[in-house]
Amino acid sequence: GMAATAEALRRVPTVEIDGGGVFKYVLLRVRAAGGPGKDVVRGHGWAEYHADIYERTAQELARQGLDCECLGGGRLSHRPEERKIHVYGYSVGFGRADHAVTTEKLKAEYPDYEVTWADEGY
């Protein structure tokens, strides 16, 4: 029921990104049916298109009774050896994510990193 779905939402990781490299990312709003939303960041190098990440994540969430919408996308440059993540660019299909929101999520997940963002770049 509702409690199980709310618990599933709570367990959804806020950030899931590759351990290093430059790759596409999407900002998603995940919802339990009719309930409040939670914004999450997903970024992976295997994705040729932003939609690839969105669709795979949506399928995983659907199995837990959750749905999601894409709030936009961009790119991440993750340099673990320098402890830096840079957020930039946009998605042709979904538009530009709010990189400031993404940056806050990444800072919470990687507190010892320098996380920066810029609206320019593709």
Catalytic site residue from 50, 78, 86, 99: 50
Rounded-to-integer distance, Cα 112 and Cα 107, Å: 8
Q: Do the strands 114-117 and 84-88 form a parallel or antiparallel pair, or are they unpaired?
A: parallel
84 is in an annotated binding site: no
Centroid of chain to Cα 58:
12
Residue 50 appears among annotated catalytic residues = yes
Q: Which residues are catalytic?
A: 50
User: Which parts are annotated binding residues?
Assistant: 24
Binding residues for substrate: 24
